[in-house]
Structure 1
Amino acid sequence: MRFVSHRVLFLAACAASLLPFTAHATSDNAAMAGAEVSAAITHDHLPSLRGLMPKPDDFSGSKHVKEWKKIPLIDAPGFVQDAVAQTAPVTGGASTIAGLGFDGVGNGFTGPQGTYTVDSAPPDTNGAVGATQYVQWVNEAFAVFDKTTGKVVYGPVAGNTLWTGFGGPCETHNDGDPIVKYDRIANRWVMTQFALPSGGPYYQCVAVSQTSDATGAWNRYAFQYTNFPDYPKAGVWPDAYYVTFNMFKGNSFAGARLCAYDRNSMLNGAPATQQCFQLSTSYGGVLPADLDGATLPSAGSPNYMLSKGSSSLNFWKMHVDWANPANSTLSAAASVPVAAFNAACGGGSCVPQAGTSEQLDSLADRLMYRLAYRNFGTYESLVVNHSVAVGASRKNTYAAVRWYELRNLSANTPTVYQQSTFAPDSTFRWMGSIAMDKMGNIALGYSTSSSSLHPGIRFATRLKTDQLNTLSNETVMLQGTGSQLNNLNRWGDYSAMALDPVDDCTFWYTNEYLQANGTFNWSTRIASFKIAGCQ
């Protein structure tokens, strides 16, 4: 197979890309003007993914736990009672219509390209839905499914299969933290994971499909960073693909980094640059707004970004000018007050499981992916979630999912339109992902577990017309039949709720579970559903 490449003087380009065209100072409170700009160190075109087969040793490596690089936990001082906890189910409300339900990539998952054997934990379960396909990507492997049947049409293959023939660390490393997006504006796929050579420099490997077929041709890019770019999260926006990172220098947190990739150039397979702003260590776990729906933001609208503060949310607006990066800006951080909360498990591990004393991570130190954006014409909306502690005292709490809807986004500080913590009983709920359909109905998916329950997957919904600050009709998507054992507490680190771009009503959710007790034997599930009345 022939690869059309623009990789000229690869090592020289690597060195040159470390030098930004324009620099700014790190700041917590002041708006920033002028972004750091650097070119993709290399890019090329993959004629077709279909013909690429896995290597025999792709899924036969040593078992390993992916490093959890912790960001500073910012939490309310002392123990607080959650004033917006929904501690009882609401009757009536949104009823759901089930669609497909099928297993995704996990231990023993078999498709046209072979069988996947889990070598790493956690899976970082992620997925997106397009015109005709669903693409799921977990740590180290991805697969493409027919969205009408749930049948796998390509995969499972190692994540770096997508960079076969590309050269450099994107081809030779398969390090994960994957994100797959469907750019519904252009009907293209966007897939990205990092490559982490020992000691750096480090790379974000990005591929943009040339059509709506994920098994077809791709434009491929590599962007380079001096510091370790952990926990990348991506959002589609009309002027850029926005990607945020938690940067680390060695084991020391170096602050969040907010970047924009030149979407137009990448759609066309042309040379592309990135523009980035570096925040101080006061901020981590920032999420970029990710577009849902057919109505775009107003022309020139900045991308909206959020992180978790102390009983607050931090809010930024990032605007990029590709013609003149000196005009690119990042607003000062605005603090959005919300109901006081404590992080579930103090940000660490406390989630119980049936039949074992092993507890699971909450990852409650950060907001959970995605920050879903929708423009309804008369107003714009953002929905997001994170995991909090609910209970009578610090020693007697359980994990629950706090969710928000923000409006009035064009203001310096947006409005919290509604907020609630879904805790209808003492089952632990965490690792959520939330989205909103074209009618304004909400679906929130999450993991569940308790001392009498194996980890499972559920979702709860609300009609736009329901009482504010409430969810109803919790549905068990899948009840797991195993618990994670033997000193393996990593879970997540994220799940994904996506909207079908064809009808803008059908939700697709993916998360992990176990079929039997053990370690490094996780499975994943993919399911679709819609809320009755959306059409």
Structure 2
Amino acid sequence: MDETARATVGNALTGPANPSVVGGLNFAGLTDNTGSPPDTTGAIGTTRFVQLVNRRAGIFNRTTGALISSGTLNQLAGVASTVNSFDPQIIWDPTTNRFYYTMASIHSPLSDSRLSFGFSRTGSPLNVTTDWCHYQIRFGRRFPDYPKLGDSQFFLIIGVNSFDLVTDNFIASDLIGISKPVTGTTCPAASTFKVGRKLNLLNSSGSQVFTPVPANQIDTAATGYVVARNLSLPSNRLWFYSVARNSSTGFPIFGGPRGATVAAYASPPNATQPNFPGGVVAPTLDTLDARPTQAVQAIDPRLRTFSFWTQHTIANGSTGSAVRWYEINPVPATPVVQRQANIASPNVFYFNAAISPDRRVDGATRTFGNNFVIEYNVSSRAANVSPRIVAGSSVNGAALTFLLVRNGVGPYRDFTCTTASSVCRWGDYSGATPDPRPTLAGRGQVWGTNQFSGILNPPVNGVNWRTRIFNLAP
């Protein structure tokens, strides 16, 4: 089914089916005065919410929202303060009951790029340094940009877009599989991990694909799954790749491309926003290029499948951008698109989304998963909407209803977009993950994090994004 949900651009819709904030947990997240975009992401565990933005990491109490500890991404990665670390990713793994992270780390701008990765020693880290294990994979001049992190029963799975560190030319999209650590609170030697790489992912026609995104598996399975889009656009295909385990060697086995036919999509235009006071024209916001940005995989009891949930921002004709979301069964030889829909309105820009079902997996407790939450940004000059955060939810397959999570205080700008003709580097992704230990009965919960315009009439030389963390029941 392909349908368009006409989303609210003003206040939240009314009615009992709206997503609702749980326990008042809609609170300020991290900010940073040194970089843009924030690339906000986060994950919820049984006692902690961990949020990462470019340059910083924070650990929050999941019950109160209080900040327990914070530090730099370099501290989380265990690298020197002179290293350029960015594009962070964080997931919670219900199977091993710990958090995992990855990020790009440039040690030398012309010759030494690396992937930093690691994990919390326990499910309740108290700091971003000694409570984590830190590792690196060297790539040299082949720069692993835009790392996306997922997992399976046996592996961490990281998808990257590789560029030449010197020329900045795109080379190919690659996959990396890293075996998960053994149980315990010590940090295993780097030599104990089984690491494999699949370079230059292609579709079934032999053409390159772009931005491979592994799913964070909530119900664990021996095989992991990855989605990517065609490198060339427009397209009506998404491509799936599997990552299995060699039973003899323990190394990852990467499967070939399997295409899913979807409604056609194209790269979206940049988002408009209201003008500044006095009629000063505000710059547009980068909505990316129809790449997928995150994925969650879990059992959907309603459909009785191991569903793969993902989304991307696409063109909505010539007047705006839409968020397209999918629920896909990636297991068959030809992946089955179970649901797909657009969140769209004329002359409005929907972008930078994250989606998650409300599946609960906490030890032997496994329940929910019929419902989902999707959160995203909205902006529009025509509708006078400053960049804000909105969430939608669907219960038992019903149509989406919407909630205004955090209003923008005005149009946005920072040092990346100092003139009206420039394009602001808005965030490349946001986060949504299911709660392994929800406080409500009868329905699961989803935690999200995203950015919004947080300063009224901001200066052109600042960093003016702010982030929000929120717990929603669909």
Shift of 1:92: 6.3
Summarize deviations over 1:189-214 as a string: whole Å, max 9, x none: 21222211211221111221111122
The aligned counterpart of 1:361 is: 286
Q: Provide the rounded CA distance (Å) in 1 between the counterparts of 2:289 and 2:237.
A: 14
Give the alignment partner of residue 505 of structure 1, picking from 444, 456, 461: 444
1:129 aligns with 2:44: yes
Shift of 1:426: 3.7
With over 3 angstroms needed to count, the CA separation of the structure-2 counterparts of 1:231 and 1:463, relative to structure 1, is: same
Q: Provide the rounded CA distance (Å) in 1 between the counterparts of 2:14 and 2:468.
A: 27
Shift of 1:354: 4.1
Shift of 1:501: 1.1
Matched residue SS, 1:254: strand
The aligned counterpart of 2:115 is: 204
RMSD: 2.4
Shift of 1:344: 1.2
Matched residue SS, 1:160: helix
Q: Provide the rounded CA distance (Å) in 2 between the counterparts of 1:211 and 1:296.
A: 19
Summarize deviations over 1:33-85 as a string: whole Å, max 9, x none: xxxxxxxxxxxxxxxxxxxxxxxxxxxxxxxxxxxxxxxxxxxxxxxxx9733
1:450 aligns with 2:365: no
1:154 aligns with 2:69: yes
With over 3 angstroms needed to count, the CA separation of the structure-2 counterparts of 1:296 and 1:162, relative to structure 1, is: closer
Give the alignment partner of residue 246 of structure 1, picking from 138, 141, 161: 161
Q: Is the 8 A contact 1:163 1:171 kept in 2?
A: no
Give the alignment partner of residue 341 of structure 1, picking from 252, 256, 265: 265
Q: Which amino acid aligns with 1:492?
A: G
Q: Is the 8 A contact 1:118 1:522 kept in 2?
A: no
Q: Provide the rounded CA distance (Å) in 2 between the counterparts of 1:204 and 1:170.
A: 14
Q: Is the 8 A contact 1:352 1:358 kept in 2?
A: yes
Matched residue SS, 2:85: coil
Q: Provide the rounded CA distance (Å) in 2 between the counterparts of 1:161 and 1:410.
A: 38
Structure 2, unmatched stretches of 5+, are 202-206, 360-367
Shift of 1:367: 0.8
Shift of 1:499: 1.2
Q: Provide the rounded CA distance (Å) in 2 between the counterparts of 1:178 and 1:279.
A: 22
Q: Provide the rounded CA distance (Å) in 1 between the counterparts of 2:247 and 2:117.
A: 19
Matched residue SS, 1:118: coil
1:415 aligns with 2:326: no
Matched residue SS, 1:284: strand
The aligned counterpart of 1:119 is: 34
The aligned counterpart of 1:55 is: none
Q: Which amino acid aligns with 2:148?
A: K
Shift of 1:453: 1.6
1:188 aligns with 2:98: yes
Shift of 1:476: 0.4
The aligned counterpart of 2:4 is: 85
Q: Provide the rounded CA distance (Å) in 2 between the counterparts of 1:104 and 1:211.
A: 23
Q: Is the 8 A contact 1:246 1:255 kept in 2?
A: yes
Q: Provide the rounded CA distance (Å) in 2 between the counterparts of 1:123 and 1:179.
A: 12
Shift of 1:515: 1.9
Q: Is the 8 A contact 1:402 1:419 kept in 2?
A: yes
**Percent identity for Structure 1 against Structure 2:** 25
1:178 aligns with 2:178: no
Using structure 2 for the length normalisation, give the TM-score: 0.82
Q: Is the 8 A contact 2:290 2:314 kept in 1?
A: no
Higher-Rg member (1/2)? 1
Q: Provide the rounded CA distance (Å) in 2 between the counterparts of 1:241 and 1:323.
A: 19
With over 3 angstroms needed to count, the CA separation of the structure-2 counterparts of 1:414 and 1:142, relative to structure 1, is: same
Q: Provide the rounded CA distance (Å) in 2 between the counterparts of 1:483 and 1:88.
A: 20
Aligned residue pair count: 416
Structure 1, unmatched stretches of 5+, are 1-81, 107-116
Matched residue SS, 2:76: helix
Shift of 1:372: 0.8
Matched residue SS, 1:149: coil
With over 3 angstroms needed to count, the CA separation of the structure-2 counterparts of 1:437 and 1:336, relative to structure 1, is: same
Q: Provide the rounded CA distance (Å) in 1 between the counterparts of 2:44 and 2:58.
A: 12
Q: Provide the rounded CA distance (Å) in 2 between the counterparts of 1:144 and 1:269.
A: 20
Aligned pairs for 1:194-273 within 5 A: 194-196=104-106, 197-215=108-126, 217-226=131-140, 227-249=142-164, 250-265=167-182, 269-271=187-189, 272-273=193-194
Q: Which amino acid aligns with 1:475?
A: L
Shift of 1:224: 1.0
Q: Is the 8 A contact 1:178 1:194 kept in 2?
A: yes
Shift of 1:498: 1.2
The aligned counterpart of 2:307 is: 381
Q: Is the 8 A contact 1:243 1:258 kept in 2?
A: yes
With over 3 angstroms needed to count, the CA separation of the structure-2 counterparts of 1:118 and 1:527, relative to structure 1, is: same
Q: Provide the rounded CA distance (Å) in 1 between the counterparts of 2:247 and 2:177.
A: 10
Q: Which amino acid aligns with 2:3?
A: V
Matched residue SS, 2:211: coil
Q: Provide the rounded CA distance (Å) in 1 between the counterparts of 2:143 and 2:428.
A: 17
Q: Is the 8 A contact 1:93 1:462 kept in 2?
A: no
Q: Is the 8 A contact 1:93 1:463 kept in 2?
A: no
Give the alignment partner of residue 474 of structure 1, picking from 396, 402, 410: 402
Q: Is the 8 A contact 1:176 1:194 kept in 2?
A: yes
The aligned counterpart of 2:395 is: 463
Q: Provide the rounded CA distance (Å) in 1 between the counterparts of 2:473 and 2:67.
A: 22
With over 3 angstroms needed to count, the CA separation of the structure-2 counterparts of 1:162 and 1:92, relative to structure 1, is: closer
Kindly indicate which of the two structures has a greater share of residues assigned to strand: 2
The aligned counterpart of 1:279 is: 200
